[in-house]
Amino acid sequence: MFRNLVAAALALLTAACVPIPAEPPRPADGPAAVSEQDERKESAQDLFAHIDILGVATALDGETLTVTFQLRDLPETLTFNRTGVPKHALEYNWEVSIDVDNDPATGSAGFDYMLSAGYFVHPLAKNSDTVAQITEPGFVKAGLWGLNRKGYRVPAEADIAIEVSAADNTITLSGDIPGITEASRFKLRAYDFFAGSVEMSGHGPSITGLAASQCIPDRPIITPGQTVLDAAGDVPAAHIDILEINSALSGERLTVVFQLRDVPETLTFDRTGVPERAMEYNWDVSIDVDNDRTTGSYGFDYTLSAMHYVFPRAGGINTTAAIDAPGVLQTNTWELDRHDAMTIDWGRLEVSAEDNTITLSGKVPGITADSRLAFGAFDILGGAEEVGCFLSNNLVRLPVRHCTPYDAPVRAGNAVTDDLSDVPAAHIDITAVDTFLSGETLTAVFHLRDVPEALTFDRAGVPDDAFEYIWRVSVDADNDPETGFGGIDYTLSAMHRVSASSAGSAATAPIEARKNLQVTTRKLTPGEGFGFFEDARLEVSAEDNTITLSGEIPGITTVSPLVFKAYDYSGGTEMVGCLSLPPVTYEAPCDSDDTMIAPGQTVSDDVTDTLPSHMDITEVSTTLDGETLTVVIHLRDLPETLEFNREGVRDDVLEYLWSVSIDVDNDRTTGGYLGDEYTMSASRFRHPSHGDAPVHLPVEEAVQANSWQMDPDGSGAAYLRSVSIEVSSAENTITLIGNIPGITPQSRLEFEAYDLQHGHEQLTCRASVDGR
C-alpha cells in the first residue's frame, strides 16, 4: 500500500462542435451532427420540461440564422423572479453559440457570437414570483452577443426576432450573424436557474453546469449499469472529450467504458511545460458506494483511475508511447477519506484506438447497483471534462492549479477580472478581484455579481461540520510551488462551518465576522497542520457587491502568486488564478549522435542566473577505464555545507540530486524514460521523521552515492551498488566513480542537478567539446 493525495481540478465547459452544411431541408439520418435544416430528436431527460430539448431545426439564409428549439413542453406562462433566485441572476435562457470561422483559437473557447433569449432578475422584482408569458414586455429578451477570449459578452448591434409557440412547444430565434457560413459550428443550450441546463449534440442532451443542488433527491444520479451521454467538442483535447460512458457491475467489480471523441495510437507524455510530480493525464470514476454525501471524501468513498504523473527528472522529455504501454499509466482503486487517499487494489486498463475507448475495471468494496458514480477525464494542457453529480461536494476540495504555458499567475498588488454568471449563485460569482499590498499586509477585494444584505446559514441538507460558505485567498508567499501545501503557504479566508447545534436551523443573518463567519489567516505546513493568526479582517458591502479580506502574510512580496476561491455548498465553486511553474532549465534529449555526450569528453555549459549556484552546471568532464566511469560535475559554486531537511520538504521526498544517466547501447528506445539503462547519482531524501529539524551538512555526509539499473518499462529503478563520491568546495566539484556494466566509449551520457525547492538543470548535448 502507498499513500498519495488524489485530486483533480476539473472545470466543466460544455460545447457541442456542430457544422452547418449547405444542404436543402432533410430529416436527420443516424447520429449525424446538428446542422442547417437538420432536425435531431433526442431522448428527454428528467428535467424541467421547458428546457428539455427534444430536437432542433436550423436554417441559414445568407448571414441570417434561424434556430428553433423543440421542447418537451412549453407552457403558456412561466413564473419569473422566483423565490431564491438572487437579483441580477440569469433565471431562464435559450441560446445558441456560433463559431463563425470554425477556429477554436478565436472568440471564447472558439465561439464568436451568442444568439440568446434570456431573463435576468430585476433587483426590485426579486422574490416576487411573477407569472407572465415568455414574450410579455419586460421579461424574456432576445439579443446577440459578441464573445471575446475571456468569455465576456459584448452586446452586438442586431435585430433579433423571437417567436414562442406553446401549442408547438417551440422557441424560435432569428437574426443576422456576421461572417456565418455553412462551415460554421455551434452549440445549443437551454437553462433554468433551479434545474440546470441541457445542451444539444450528435449524441444526446447533457446535464451540465448544475449548481450543488443537482444531486438532491429530485435530480437523477448515475448508477452502475447505466449509459450516460455527453456533448461532443466540449473540451479541446479529443482524448478526454467524453461522448458516452457505459458501466457494468459484477459483484464488487466495476467496469467503466469511456467512449471518447478520439483515442490515438500514442500520446506524448512528460511534455514540456508540465511540472515534475504533476498529474498530466487522468481518466477516473468516483464512487459513492453508500450514496451518503457525508462520508468519504465529500461523499465519494472510492475512485478507480488511470493516471500519469511526471516522474522527477522526466519533465520535458516528451516521450511518445501507447496509452496502455507498461508503466505509463498507474491504474488503481483508491479509498478516500476527507484528508487523504490510499491505494487498496490494482485496476485493469484496456485501450482501443480503433473503438476510441478507454476501459477501467477494478474491485470497489461495498459497491451496489444503487451506488452513485461520477466520471472525469483530464489533460493538464488540454482541459478537463466531468460527467455526473460531481460539483457539490468535490469542488470544495478543488486543488489550486499550476499555470500552464498559456496563462500567468495573479501577483500580489494586481487586479484580475472573471466572466459573469459562470456559477449560479451570485454571492460566489467572482467578476473581479482587486489586491493591495502594504508591507506584509494583503488586502483582497472580491467583486461579486451580487452580495445580499443577508444570507441563510445552516441550511437544511448541509451536513454537520461541513463548510457552507467560503471566500478565500491562497498565497504562495515564496513563489515556490514545492513548499507549503501544494504550493500554498498561507490562506486568508472567511468561512462558515455548520455545527451540530445549529444544523438545519436555516437562520437568515448579515454576513459578519465572528457572528457567522470565521475570518482567519492560516499557515500551511505539511506534516504539521495549520497555524492560525488572529489579525484577519472582513468588510462586506451589499451596496458595492464586495467582500474584502485583509491580513498579515509573512514573507509576501509583489511576486507572490495568489489564487481566489468562492464556495457555496448548495451553489457551486468558483476559483480564479493559478500558481507559477517551478523553475526548470532543461535541454531536449539529443537526437543526434554528432552532438551527444560520450565518455571521455569534457563539456561546458552556460551560466544561468535562474538557479542557485550549487545546481548550476558549468562543466562536466568524464573518463572511462574499462567499465569504470568517472564523472566530475563542475558547479558555479559549491559551499562547504548545504541546508537539508528544509521546511516544506516532506518525508521520503527527494531533496537534492546530482546524477549522470547512461545509455550504454546508445539506443533511445531501450532502457528508461531517457533511454538510459543505468544511473549514477548522489542523492538526498528527507528522513521519515518529523523530529528531523533543518540541518547544515557537508554534501558528502548528507547524500547517498549509488548506481541504479533502470526498469525496461521506465517505471522505476533497481539499486545496483554504492559508488565513490568526492566533493570539493574549493574546486566547486562533485565527482562520482562507479562500474557501469556494458558501457563503451560510444555510450550516451546525460547529466542533471536537482533541488526540490529550486527546480533542476539538465545537460544533454555538447556546446563545446575537448578531448575524445
C-alpha distance from residue 246 to each of 235, 331, 564, 628 (Å): 20, 18, 36, 56
Q: Please, which pLDDT band fits residue 215 given cuts at 50, 70 and 90?
A: very low
| Residue-wise pLDDT tens digits, 119-169 | 988 877 888 889 999 988 888 988 888 876 444 455 666 788 999 999 999
- Burial of 665 (C-beta count, 10 Å sphere; 0-12/13-18/19+): middle
Q: What's the one-letter identity of residue 167?
A: A
Instruction: Please name which of 344, 208, 209, 374 lies closest in space to residue 283, comparing C-alpha atoms.
Output: 374
C-alpha distance from residue 359 to each of 355, 388, 627 (Å): 11, 18, 46
Coil/strand/helix, residue 363: strand
**What pLDDT score does 531 carry?**
58
Instruction: Decide if pLDDT at 515 tops 50.
Output: yes
Count CB atoms within 10 A of the CB of residue 39.
Answer: 17
User: CA 400 to CA 350: how far, in whole Å?
Assistant: 31
**What pLDDT score does 539 carry?**
93
**What pLDDT score does 559 carry?**
80
The model's pTM: 0.39
**What pLDDT score does 391 carry?**
36
Burial 115-146 (b: 16+ CB within 10 A, else e): bbbbbebeeeebeeebebebeeeebbebbbbb
Lowest mean pLDDT of 250-254, 512-516, 552-556, name the range.
512-516
Helix H or strand E encompassing 433: strand 430-438
Distance of CA 192 to the CA centre of its chain: 27
Instruction: Please name which of 310, 295, 305, 289 lies closest in space to residue 345, comparing C-alpha atoms.
Output: 305
* Long-range pairs, 244-248, Cβ under 8 A, ≥24: 244/203, 245/375, 245/387, 247/285, 247/373, 248/224
Length of the chain: 772
Coil/strand/helix, residue 243: strand
Q: Please, which pLDDT band fits residue 223 given cuts at 50, 70 and 90?
A: low
| Residue-wise pLDDT tens digits, 18-44 | 333 332 222 223 323 333 333 333 333
In terms of pLDDT, which residue wins out, 647 or 173?
173
Contacts of 419 (CB under 8 A, 6+ apart): 150, 151, 152
Q: Please, which pLDDT band fits residue 769 given cuts at 50, 70 and 90?
A: very low
- Mean of per-residue pLDDT scores for the chain: 76
